Amino acid sequence: MRIVIQRVSQASVTINKQVKSSIGAGYLVLLGIGKDDTEEDVNWLVKKVIALRVFDDEMGVMNCSIMDVDGDILVVSQFTLMGSYKKGNRPSWIHAAPHEISIPLYNRFCEALSDALGKPVGTGEFGADMKVELLNDGPVTICMDTKNKE
C-alpha cells in the first residue's frame, strides 16, 4: 500500500457535482493498493498515520499527532499511486490491485482508521471520478509505502 498524507486546513471530495465528504483541519490521505497488499499492510499504515507527529505543539514544533489535535481524516482511493513508469512515458497499472482485492482493503483501511481515530473518517467513492479540493497546511506532505518502510 502506498499513501500520500497531506496536512490540510480543510479538504473535500465531490462526485457528480455533489460533495460526498468534507473535513476541517487534519489529513487528506490518498491511498493506493497493490495486488500483493494484505490486512497486515492496513494495520501497519493505520498505526503510522495515527501516530505521525506533524502538527505544531504550543512551541510551534511539529510534535503533535492527529489524535493530539482532534483532527479529521479524509481518505480517497488513488490507484495511480501504484503506477509503474519504468518503461516509456505512459504509466502501467500492473502493480495496482484488482477490485476484488482493493475494495475490501480500502474499506478495511477506512474502518480501522476510523476506529483508531475514534470518529468517522470521510471517504470518496471507490472507482468514481472524484474532484478533490484541499487547502494544504504548511505545506506538509508525507509519503509512506508498506513495501519500503523507511
Q: Please count the other Cβ atoms lying within 10 Å of the Cβ belonging to residue 70.
A: 12
Scored b (16 or more CB within 10 A) or e, 29-61 reads bbbbbbeebeeebbeebbeebbebebbeeeeee
Burial (0-12, 13-18, 19+ Cβ within 10 Å), 69: middle
Residue 17: partners with Cβ closer than 8 Å, 6 or more residues away: none
Give the catalytic positions in this structure. Answer: 78-80
